[in-house]
Structure 1
Amino acid sequence: MPLQAVTRALEQIVCYDKSGFYPLEIAGQRIGCINVLWRERLLAHESAIFREDNGVIRALDSEPDFAARSATLAASALRWREAGWLNGWRNEKFIAFFNDGTPALEMERAAFRPLGLTSRAVHLNGLTRMADGEIRMWIGRRSPFKDVEPNRLDNMMGGGIAAGESIQIALEREGWEEAGIPSERLTLLPQTALLLAERPVQRGLHREWLYVFDLWLKEGEAPQNQDGEVAEHVLMPLAEVEQHLINGQFMSDAALTAIDCLARLGYWGDDSPLHSVLARVRGVAGTDTAGR
């Protein structure tokens, strides 16, 4: 049945074997996670910064502030790139936070996954209610020229929150670049979900809070990509979205966001087993969980 297939797909997105990862403490707080390969690299080649203590990788215990921690790890990331350990260098920085929400450091986004640091992103579901009452969802197809997951299906918009950006600024910037949505349409848009996307990737551990918003477009109104990163937007019946989810055609974070949206719309009913799986990764919408 489709519901069982979607539930299995969701479980594959949110569940993984955590036994192959080592917790990372920076300046005395546990904010990252490192796989076996990167543990070996850091202990062998970055021993001036990283050490292991009872199965925990510790770093920067003596660095006094945000700027010092950021500078030390920025130099490390450059060494990792020169060694051929990092690909996808963006010249774009993300901020990692301590557990109380205080900024811990900023670092090249390509280096976040090796350390398992938690980044943040905004995702925008585009929805349209047709004249007959049917709800449809706007789905983006990534450009075939994208370096990462070309041609995969995506939400109407999704993008990382860069260092120095607020959630609102990132929403407005990405909303315009990826979907041509004017900022005034997004200024007072309420956040509808908060989801923790977490999974092993080739580079390490992807861990990201997804700040999710729903935007209702009128029938006949369509998103318009501005930056060339989206090949097309398609207005799909929810049953078609469901089938693409089952077939694995969505990017992982986009799939999580779309499943959550359909569940909130009641597409599978209020007592669906999906809700118990989603409960594992749902935060409280409208709160800033950067430090979790």
Structure 2
Amino acid sequence: MQLDAVLSYLDKISRYDARPFTPLFFGGERMGWVNVQWKERLLQHESALFEESYQGLVCRLSGSYRSISHALAQAARRWQQAGWLNGWRNENFTAFRPDGTPFFELERAAFRPLGLTSRAVHVNGLCRLESGEVRMWVGRRSPHKAVDPNRMDNLVGGGVAAGETLDLALEREGWEEAGISRDALQGLKPVSVLLAERPVARGLHREWLHGYDLWLGQEQRPCCQDGEVAEHVLLPLAEVEQLLVDERFMIDAALVVVDCLCRLEYWGARNPEMSTALSRIRYAKQGPLVSSV
């Protein structure tokens, strides 16, 4: 076992210097973070929508969910036309208030520049062999994927679109990426919620990762339906750990895998060390934020 190496890797992918980022407020509530480049862009080119205050950057928009979403959608199109946004998906994510209520929705490509927090579902595919050994299904992303091609991934993983419940996102992604039927996922609930947060080329990646454990029979084999996963392999947990140490996983998937290994008590007597390290990114499922994640 390589706990120290995994702890070091967890530190590397979950800690960062937040000082270059400016808080972004909507409706008086801090909901995003922008880097220096995007702060300058918004103040110089979108002064009708954004202004600077002693707290940070403030969005001037007010009104209904629909009206704010519409105004920001128009702004995002301007940013796309200016060449500031890449990876346009024609898919919206929902931005939630700190109390969990939906505030507005926006093209997902604009979430990272504004440092808004999105949501995703991730499934750990687990299998117990006749010997009692637990193994994990790991996916290898298609070499044609625009993001993290050929990297290792969870059995299932994908963003939650605007207007979509966690259950619906789970069913959609489960079928598309692994050919898992709706019935097999019925009633499955998140066993952990993790905050993935790190600087990326577009800005700040912030996403609540809803982790699920799905136990599959030895006769069940995942089968990708949409071409986004090149293959699924059933691996001993020691090999999964080695993939973590070798940094072969895409980062969000790595967080979910580390959390799963910890819950399986993979590191034995030293497992509490990993649990303590994960506590800073694990959501405790208490207070008003419950509905937002």
Structures share fold, TM-score greater than 0.5 = yes
Aligned positions of 1:142-221 closer than 5 A? 142-221=141-220
Q: Deviation at 1:270?
A: 5.4
Aligned positions of 1:126-137 closer than 5 A? 126-137=125-136
Moved more, 88-97 or 279-288: 279-288
How far apart, in 1, do the equivalents of 2:41 and 2:268 lie? 48
Answer yes or no: is the 8 Å Cα contact 2:48–2:60 preserved in 1.
no
**Amino acid aligned to 1:18:** A
2:195 partner SS: strand
**Alignment partner, residue 43 of structure 1:** 43
Runs (5+) with no aligned partner, structure 1: none
**Alignment partner, residue 6 of structure 1:** 6
How far apart, in 2, do the equivalents of 1:277 and 1:32 lie? 25
How far apart, in 2, do the equivalents of 1:117 and 1:270 lie? 38
**Amino acid aligned to 2:90:** N
Cα deviations by residue, 1:80-128 (Å, 9 ceiling, x for unpaired): 0011110000000000001111111100000000000000000000000
How far apart, in 1, do the equivalents of 2:100 and 2:55 lie? 25
Moved more, 183-192 or 159-168: 183-192
Answer yes or no: is the 8 Å Cα contact 1:192–1:285 preserved in 2.
no
Q: Deviation at 1:164?
A: 1.1
* Pair 1:100–1:19, CA change in 2 (3 A): same
Runs (5+) with no aligned partner, structure 2: none
User: RMSD of the TM alignment (CA)?
Assistant: 1.5
TM-score normalised according to structure 2 size: 0.96
**Alignment partner, residue 141 of structure 1:** 140
Q: Deviation at 1:194?
A: 0.7
How far apart, in 2, do the equivalents of 1:285 and 1:156 lie? 24
Q: Deviation at 1:289?
A: 3.8
**Alignment partner, residue 261 of structure 2:** 262
**Alignment partner, residue 24 of structure 2:** 24
**Amino acid aligned to 1:185:** A
Cα deviations by residue, 1:169-225 (Å, 9 ceiling, x for unpaired): 000110010010100111111321111111110000000001111000111211110
Cα deviations by residue, 1:113-172 (Å, 9 ceiling, x for unpaired): 000000000000000001111110000000000111100000000000001110000001
**Amino acid aligned to 2:264:** L
How far apart, in 2, do the equivalents of 1:207 and 1:289 lie? 17
* Pair 1:290–1:253, CA change in 2 (3 A): farther
How far apart, in 1, do the equivalents of 2:33 and 2:266 lie? 35
Moved more, 266-275 or 165-174: 266-275
**Alignment partner, residue 278 of structure 2:** 278
How far apart, in 1, do the equivalents of 2:269 and 2:73 lie? 47
In the comparison of the two structures, how many residue pairs are matched? 291
How far apart, in 2, do the equivalents of 1:199 and 1:289 lie? 22
How far apart, in 1, do the equivalents of 2:39 and 2:27 lie? 18
**Amino acid aligned to 1:54:** Y
Answer yes or no: is the 8 Å Cα contact 1:124–1:212 preserved in 2.
yes
Answer yes or no: is the 8 Å Cα contact 1:94–1:162 preserved in 2.
yes
Q: Deviation at 1:64?
A: 1.2
* Pair 1:159–1:286, CA change in 2 (3 A): farther
Identity across aligned pairs (percent)?
56
Q: Deviation at 1:271?
A: 4.1
**Alignment partner, residue 53 of structure 1:** 53
Answer yes or no: is the 8 Å Cα contact 1:191–1:286 preserved in 2.
no
2:120 partner SS: strand
**Amino acid aligned to 1:100:** D
Answer yes or no: is the 8 Å Cα contact 1:94–1:161 preserved in 2.
yes
How far apart, in 2, do the equivalents of 1:235 and 1:261 lie? 15
**Amino acid aligned to 2:27:** A
Cα deviations by residue, 1:44-90 (Å, 9 ceiling, x for unpaired): 111111111115100035x2111111011101100100111100000
**Alignment partner, residue 15 of structure 1:** 15
Q: Deviation at 1:28?
A: 1.3
How far apart, in 2, do the equivalents of 1:37 and 1:15 lie? 21
Q: 2:231 matched to 1:224? A: no
2:125 partner SS: strand
Q: Deviation at 1:286?
A: 10
